[in-house]
Amino acid sequence: MLIRVVNILDTETIGTLYTYISNPGTLILQVPTTTAAGATYNYKFLRTSNIKTVEVISKSIDQTKIVKINELDPKKIPSVIKRNTEAVELKKLTQNDKATKEGQHIFNTLYKTMPTVRWKDNSIIILDEVKINPPYQLQEVKSIINDQDPEESDAIRLVKKIVDGVWLKVESQRKGG
């Protein structure tokens, strides 16, 4: 049964009703998603106390689209939760939805190369001594340490070299090379 659920925050979820658990009052929807591996499904757990409206979109059930969930060893649950929590926390630290695609690409490259890279608003901070502001061009690579000549810093030179390499790669991809 395909349903549309709106929660108290007006967030809409459309999916196939997988199951309803009366105690603790949980509705589980199978929601189609697309990943690099192709079409797959996620399961969304909704507390019934947070549901504002439920609308039945289709009563027919396509059994081929109902996916069987494999059993999970209860002893492995803490490690699965830890691994998934760490992945979510890493994404929060490394992804900036407000940054441009190029800015995110530069951040990712620096993050893989340098020991300390983080976002501060839309600026990239490297080693707490170098800052790159949008639009993340070479001229935007600046020293955070004001009394230091930016050209003398090894960190500045290395960051500029990495940023230049990323922009060369981006430009060659745009030109089809």
pLDDT band at 34 (very low <50, low <70, confident <90, very high): confident
pLDDT digits (tens, 9 = 90+) for 83-123: 999 999 999 889 999 999 999 999 999 999 999 999 999 99
Tell me the two tokens of residue 118. 């983080």
pLDDT band at 161 (very low <50, low <70, confident <90, very high): very high
Rounded CA separation 37/67 (Å): 16
pLDDT at 48: 94
Rounded CA separation 87/73 (Å): 21
In the 8-state DSSP scheme, what is residue 67? P
pLDDT band at 167 (very low <50, low <70, confident <90, very high): very high
pLDDT digits (tens, 9 = 90+) for 56-65: 998 887 777 6
Decide if pLDDT at 140 tops 60: yes
Q: Which residues of 111-141 are buried (b: 16+ CB within 10 A; e: fewer)?
A: beeeeebebeeebbbbbebbbbeeebeeeeb
pLDDT at 12: 95
pLDDT at 147: 61
pLDDT at 28: 92
pLDDT at 36: 74
pLDDT at 97: 92
